[in-house]
Amino acid sequence: MGNRGWAPARQDGRRFVVTGASSGLGLETARALAAAGADVVLAVRNTEKGTAAARSMSGAVEVRRLDIADLSSVREFADGVGTLDVLVNNAGVMAVPYGRTVDGFETQLGTNHLGHFALTNLLLPSITDRVVVVSSDAHARGEVDLDDLHWERRPYKPFAAYRASKLANLLFLLELDRRLRAAGSPVRAVGAHPGSTATAITGNTGNRFKTWVGSWGHKLAGMPVERGALTTLYAATTDLPGNTYIGPDGFLEMRGWPTEVDRSATARDAGLARGLWERSEELTGTTFPL
């Protein structure tokens, strides 16, 4: 059984950055942290939406622009953040049609992994507690091809690319944790996935039928967003060892209360994690700073 009825403890005096905080899981995560007394930075692409989100929250909330799919925006954001306790890498896209970011990355890998990889490395010297990596149970069917990260040689499949990006999240978590330990850093890296949660992330697949099935499937089988955000909140606020992965405790990890969950054997592949890290450094021009 998971932590039934769990809610975050008071977070007074602690500062969090939450990416993608103007809607969905990011919005609910930020709202709950602010309500618990934390200072929260809403890192959002659309500052008008971010400002509207901030007005719906109690507590100390700051809105800062961050387009996680644009490395110049990532660098600009990182330059002005200052010291923080926790970085929550939440922003993401799901199963979108083929496209490229402004830096030439396949959209899902660029948004879900590479942007957060760069942001984390740039902010690590300013982080005092932890980095939270938000992945998905879809990672278990993902494959990462280090020689074709941007789907230039293979036929592009939106859901396969999404699963690959979510696997990349957990490989990043694995190698980040290893590097933090090797450096003797007190900072830890932990992960979470929300199970099946009703948000708007399924709304941009470019396929009306798949969008409809995804949206209604999450509404019927999954959790409301305030419950889905609990796994991220648990990972962000509970005393956990590095490389812990939190998910819902229910059937197939689709819904339930936060608990430690397993991940695929590929997500535990240390060699693949190192290889992805090295390729990510080359692509983003950022390195582990500690």
Mention every residue, 6+ apart, whose C-beta is less than 8 A from residue 184.
none
Q: Encode pLDDT of 173-211 as tens digits.
A: 999 999 999 999 999 999 999 998 755 544 454 555 444
* Residue 156 appears among annotated catalytic residues: no
pLDDT digits (tens, 9 = 90+) for 213-263: 444 444 555 689 999 999 999 999 999 999 999 999 988 899 999 999 999
Domain spans of the chain, in order of start:
15-284
CA distance 94 to 112: 9
pLDDT at 87 over 80: yes
- CATH number corresponding to 15-284: 3.40.50.720
**Nearest 10 degrees: CA dihedral of 108, 154, 136, 131?**
-60
Q: Which of 156, 162, 234, 245 is catalytic?
A: 162
